Amino acid sequence: QVQLVESGGGLVQAGGSLRLSCAASANIFRLYTMAWYRQAPGKQRELVATISSGGSSNYKDSVKGRFTISRDNAKNTGYLQMNSLKPEDTAVYYCNVHTFVENTATLIEYWGQGTQVTVSS
């Protein structure tokens, strides 16, 4: 079992920055792909960014060039640096880690409790 604890959310003005952190409870964090999702009121949860165990990253088009996902496996912690924030970035942000059981399609994943990010105009 892996527990994830997010932190770093808050209220910021448009154009500002926040850095979210996701602390994992287990050393196996380094073996998992990490992702950040977000869910705005009345909308479905959407994928924002992912980073593989090897460090390869991918981003939702609307955050490319503004957000940076990273990880520090020695600290079992992942991050999402968010710059040039816009009101439409307002959402609850969730940390996710996942992997597939070797040679199967069985997904193992864990979620954090979420952290609120509010961007005022």
- List the chain residues with pLDDT less than 50: none
What pLDDT does 109 receive? 94
Q: Which residue has the tokens 């997904």?
A: 107
Pairing type for strands 91-100 and 67-72 reads unpaired
Q: Do residues 71 and 34 lie in contact, with contact meaning Cβ atoms separated by under 8 Å? A: yes
Tens-place pLDDT, residues 70-104: 999 999 999 999 999 999 999 999 999 998 888 88
What is the residue-averaged pLDDT of the chain?
A: 95
Predicted confidence at residue 2, as pLDDT, reads 86
pLDDT at 118: 98
Distance CA 92, CA 9 (A): 9
**CB contact set of 11 (below 8 Å; sequence gap of 6+):** 118, 119, 120
Asked if residue 46 lies in contact with residue 61, where contact means CB atoms within 8 angstroms, the answer is no
Q: What are phi and psi of 16, to 5 degrees?
A: -85, -175
